[in-house]
Amino acid sequence: MEFNDTFIKACRKQPVSHVPVWYMRQAGRYQPEYRKIREKYSLFEITHHPEVCAEVTRLPVEQLGVDAAILFADIMTPLVPIGVDVEIKSGIGPVIANPVRSLNDVSKLGELDPNDGVPFVMETVQLLKKELKVPLIGFAGAPFTLASYMIEGGPSKNYHLTKSFMYAEPEAWQALMEKLTKMTIAYLQAQVNAGAAAVQIFDSWVGALNAKDYNEYIMPVMKKIVDGLKSECNVPIIYFGVGAGHLLEEWNQLDVDVLGLDWRTTVGSARNRGIEKALQGNLDPSLLLAPWNMVERKAKEILEEGSKQPGFIFNLGHGVFPQVKADTLKRLTDFVHEYSARCLK
């Protein structure tokens, strides 16, 4: 089988014969095989066993026929070696025993040397680079999203502690952002060196900020990360957030290649707002629990808008839920390939 580079071509806005597709959380609890592995290993234990972790990463590629693999890890992974005491609780998410609430807490955080702190991630990437016939997407959480867990101590609805820390403790916030910036560049750079063909930066919760505050507090941080990466390597960078449609014009100023949309912002409306970068998204993941004719109708709408110009990658607007049937995702993948091939003819 030849290497399928359709996904990279779409990231670079080059012509393709079908719209490439992959899914956020394509490895996860909706798969019986994953649940079986999870009976034996916790999420972090999977990531500490490169062979198992590579298998979990490959599973959805083999089962669904998607055009990209995403490294199996968590956005919390690189925080452990810098001193964050985090546990991933099933059904809840990351829970942190030592939340960051002061400059002193920030100063206790160490630096990440990826080969020393997370060697198992690099080994997994190296294994996958040999085995896969599609590009591997490396990833990291963005500083605001990581900070939200570190400060709140777990998932949050409105990020009151995070935002009040940002407004009230400028010196500590700045110090935290600087540490996370350095960590993120080193972590993503190491994944690329090990064989990742693209990277996605998950800023899942940054939509909690308005555009003015994003510009003031986060834009310089993201610019540093993106420019830092671009100066070192030439892989496509995808930037994604949930409920962040009001930030598209800001994101568009960053030197990223692809903007990831959630289901609230249509591809057509992003294009109408002058966004010329490649786009990725954005089927509402809830639709995967609806009858097939509804899934198909909504996927068609997205593909028709997405295939109007080069630079579109089909995905969900957020991650796959555990309740989704693997068959539905397989059918959707085949549909995206077949229907988009007709649109692009």
**Interface with ligand CP3 (CB under 6 A):** 24-29, 38, 43, 70, 72, 74-75, 88, 90-94, 139, 202, 204, 242, 319
Q: Is residue 85 exposed (0-12), middle (13-18) or buried (19+ Cβ within 10 Å)?
A: exposed
Decide whether 281 or 319 has the Cβ nearer to ligand CP3.
319
Decide whether 142 or 295 has the Cβ nearer to ligand CP3.
142
Which among 152, 216, 222, 212 is positioned nearest to 180, based on CA atoms?
222
As measured in angstroms, the least distance from the Cβ of 239 to ligand CP3 is 12
Q: Is 35 a catalytic residue?
A: no
Residue 14 Cα distances to 17, 117, 279, angstroms: 10, 37, 13
Decide whether 27 or 270 has the Cβ nearer to ligand CP3.
27
Extract the runs of DSSP E, i.e. beta strands, from the chain.
Answer: 69-70, 86-89, 93-96, 136-141, 198-202, 237-240, 258-260, 278-283, 312-316
Query: CA–CA separation, 220 vs 226, rounded Å?
Result: 10
Helix (H) / strand (E) element for 106: namely helix 103-107
- Give the three-class secondary structure for 228: helix
DSSP conformation class of 21: B
Decide whether 311 or 319 has the Cβ nearer to ligand CP3.
319
Torsion (CA) 295, 340, 235, 274 in degrees, nearest 10: -80
Q: Is 29 a catalytic residue?
A: yes
DSSP string, 243-286: S-GGGHHHHTTSS-SEEE--TTS-HHHHHHTT--SEEEEEE-GG
Q: Which of 29, 101, 264, 271 is catalytic?
A: 29
As measured in angstroms, the least distance from the Cβ of 318 to ligand CP3 is 6
As measured in angstroms, the least distance from the Cβ of 241 to ligand CP3 is 8
Q: Which of 5, 23, 58, 74 is catalytic?
A: 74
Q: Is 58 a catalytic residue?
A: no
Q: Which of 23, 34, 149, 214 is catalytic?
A: 149
As measured in angstroms, the least distance from the Cβ of 103 to ligand CP3 is 25
Query: CA–CA separation, 247 vs 212, rounded Å?
Result: 9
Decide whether 32 or 91 has the Cβ nearer to ligand CP3.
91
Decide whether 117 or 319 has the Cβ nearer to ligand CP3.
319
As measured in angstroms, the least distance from the Cβ of 267 to ligand CP3 is 20
Q: Is 257 a catalytic residue?
A: no
Query: CA–CA separation, 336 vs 18, rounded Å?
Result: 8
Cis peptide before 210 (omega within 30 of 0): no
Q: By beta-carbon distance, which residue lies closest to ligand CP3?
A: 204
As measured in angstroms, the least distance from the Cβ of 66 to ligand CP3 is 10
Q: Is 273 a catalytic residue?
A: no
290 and 332 Cβ atoms separated by less than 8 Å: no
Decide whether 82 or 344 has the Cβ nearer to ligand CP3.
82
Instruction: Indicate if the alpha-carbon torsion angle 106, 97, 84, 210 is positive or negative.
Output: negative
Helices 119-131 and 170-194: crossing angle in degrees, nearest 10, is: 40
As measured in angstroms, the least distance from the Cβ of 253 to ligand CP3 is 22
- Catalytic residue positions, numbered: 25, 29, 38, 74, 149
